[in-house]
């Protein structure tokens, strides 16, 4: 029987809560770091942080760097910590109207390999589309020769917490994508909307020392918005007013964000991005305004965020599952083990 964590299909996109997750979050942002920094940053006791770090080292997620230690007086020198060479990969997929992005990322969030698949979901059956995605996922597993820790997918439209997707541009109406994926891909699966995932990417990228409230305004095949904060990601209702400028400023006035991100293909047109930016400046004050300009940039950000969500939320849970999978690999096209299941450093392919 699968655990509840494995069965969860909606991303967490919340502040890391367990001691190990909180420590890993700080190490990802500030490496190399001392244990004293983790104690201060997480608010946990010294014994709790020591146990969490030991567990992360045992899971091959973190390593000590004695070569970077600096003696500060009598006694044992403090040894900095950093992320270890990734023991696995995460697969992220961003489904588009006529092209679908798929990428493999390591535990640092670096993209190892990525590609755009020219496929129109509305022109084929859902099962045929899932077969194509599973085949490319299997190829990435063979390439990496590392375990696949988890699989994440983003789509346009509306995605329920159980992974049911309604996206007219894809030809999907209350479509059970998750069950179809589970028949072909035997690792934990997360499915969410592209808007939620882009907001999740903003949340994951925030420095723990300077958390901020970020408004994401998305305009592509559909228009949507979300707010990212350290506590989580919340989708927002969007009033479809006379123009993108009016819709964006209406949201900004209600949310009062510290940062605003304009995402989606509508903002590939510089004049559109500038017009919305000027309108936002009138109501957003000193808020930072940024644009994710291209389809590839948006797809990469969304796919990477949903792929990394389980690692950030429960790193030791993933490590435990991968350890179990190595002794009893699942049957099927894609299991938790990549072909060969060798644990070695990956070459720096992709962006």
Query: From CA 7, how far away is CA 268, in angstroms rounded?
Result: 37
Query: Could you tell me the CATH number of the domain that includes residue 251?
Result: 3.30.420.60
Q: What integer pLDDT is reported at residue 156 of this predicted model?
A: 92
Query: Could you tell me the CATH number of the domain that includes residue 187?
Result: 3.30.420.40
Claim to verify: residue 108 and residue 158 sit in the same structural domain: yes
Tokens linked to 99 = 């092209």
| Residues forming beta bridges with residue 166, ordered by sequence position | 158
- Quick: pLDDT tens for 214-231: 999 999 878 899 999 878
Claim to verify: residue 105 and residue 219 sit in the same structural domain: no
Claim to verify: residue 94 and residue 70 sit in the same structural domain: no
Judge whether residue 343 has pLDDT over 60.
no
Query: From CA 294, how far away is CA 63, in angstroms rounded?
Result: 36
Claim to verify: residue 132 and residue 175 sit in the same structural domain: yes
User: pTM value?
Assistant: 0.88
Claim to verify: residue 184 and residue 42 sit in the same structural domain: no
Name the residue range of residue 65's domain: 4-83
Judge whether residue 341 has pLDDT over 50.
no
Claim to verify: residue 182 and residue 215 sit in the same structural domain: no
Q: What integer pLDDT is reported at residue 77 of this predicted model?
A: 65
**Residue 13 domain flag:** yes
Claim to verify: residue 95 and residue 182 sit in the same structural domain: yes
Tokens linked to 69 = 């230690």
| Residues forming beta bridges with residue 64, ordered by sequence position | 81
Claim to verify: residue 69 and residue 124 sit in the same structural domain: no
**Residue 153 domain flag:** yes
Range with the largest mean pLDDT of 63-77, 154-168, 325-339: 154-168
**What is the band of 116 on the pLDDT scale with cuts at 50, 70, 90?**
very high
- Quick: pLDDT tens for 276-292: 999 999 998 889 999 99
- Quick: pLDDT tens for 121-163: 999 999 999 999 999 999 988 887 888 999 999 999 999 988 8
Share of the chain above pLDDT 90, in %: 68
Mean pLDDT taken over the chain: 87
The single residue listed with the structure tokens 């991303």 is 11
**Residue 339 domain flag:** no
Q: What integer pLDDT is reported at residue 97 of this predicted model?
A: 93
Domain count, the chain: 3
Claim to verify: residue 285 and residue 253 sit in the same structural domain: yes
Q: What is the mean pLDDT of residues 196-210?
A: 90
Contact between 187 and 148 (Cβ < 8 Å): yes
Claim to verify: residue 318 and residue 188 sit in the same structural domain: yes
Claim to verify: residue 133 and residue 252 sit in the same structural domain: no
Claim to verify: residue 32 and residue 128 sit in the same structural domain: no
- Quick: pLDDT tens for 297-333: 999 999 999 999 999 999 999 898 888 776 654 444 5
Contact between 182 and 9 (Cβ < 8 Å): no
Tokens linked to 343 = 């644990």
Better-scored residue on pLDDT, 243 or 77: 243
Q: What integer pLDDT is reported at residue 1 of this predicted model?
A: 37
**Of 148, 163, 193, whose CA–CA distance to 9 is shortest?**
163
Judge whether residue 232 has pLDDT over 70.
yes
**Which of 33, 57, 83 is the endpoint of a domain?**
83
Query: From CA 15, how far away is CA 162, in angstroms rounded?
Result: 22
């Amino acid at each position: 029987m699968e655990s509840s964590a494995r069965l969860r299909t909606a991303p967490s996109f919340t502040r890391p809560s367990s001691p190990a997750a909180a420590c890993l979050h700080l190490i990802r942002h500030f490496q190399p770091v001392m244990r004293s920094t983790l104690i201060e940053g997480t608010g946990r006791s010294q014994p709790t942080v020591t146990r969490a770090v030991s567990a992360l080292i045992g899971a091959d997620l973190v390593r000590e760097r004695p070569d970077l230690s600096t003696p500060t007086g009598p006694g044992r020198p403090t040894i900095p910590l950093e992320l270890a060479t990734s023991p696995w990969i995460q697969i992220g997929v961003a489904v588009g109207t006529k092209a679908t992005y798929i990428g493999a990322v390591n535990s640092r969030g670096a993209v190892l390999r990525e590609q755009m698949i020219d496929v129109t979901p509305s022109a084929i059956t859902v099962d045929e589309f899932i077969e194509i995605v599973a085949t490319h996922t299997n190829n990435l597993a063979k390439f990496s020769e590392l375990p696949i820790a988890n699989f994440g997918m983003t789509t346009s439209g509306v995605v329920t917490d159980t992974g049911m997707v309604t996206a007219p541009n894809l030809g999907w109406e209350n479509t059970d994508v998750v069950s179809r994926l589970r028949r072909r891909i035997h690792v934990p699966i997360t499915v969410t909307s592209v808007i939620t995932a882009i907001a999740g990417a903003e949340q994951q990228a925030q420095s723990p020392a300077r958390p901020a409230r970020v408004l994401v305004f998305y305009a592509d095949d559909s228009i949507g918005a979300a707010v990212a904060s350290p506590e989580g990601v919340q989708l927002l209702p969007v009033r479809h007013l006379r123009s993108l400028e009016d819709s964006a400023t209406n949201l900004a006035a209600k949310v009062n964000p510290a940062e605003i991100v304009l995402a989606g293909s509508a903002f590939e047109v510089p004049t559109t991005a500038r017009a919305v930016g000027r309108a936002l400046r009138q109501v957003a004050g000193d808020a930072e305004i940024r644009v994710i300009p291209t389809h590839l940039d948006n797809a990469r950000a969304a796919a990477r965020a949903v792929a990394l969500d389980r690692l950030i939320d429960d790193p030791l849970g993933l490590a435990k599952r991968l350890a179990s999978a190595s002794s009893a690999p699942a049957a099927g096209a894609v299991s938790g083990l990549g072909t060969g299941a060798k644990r070695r450093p990956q070459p720096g392919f992709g962006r």
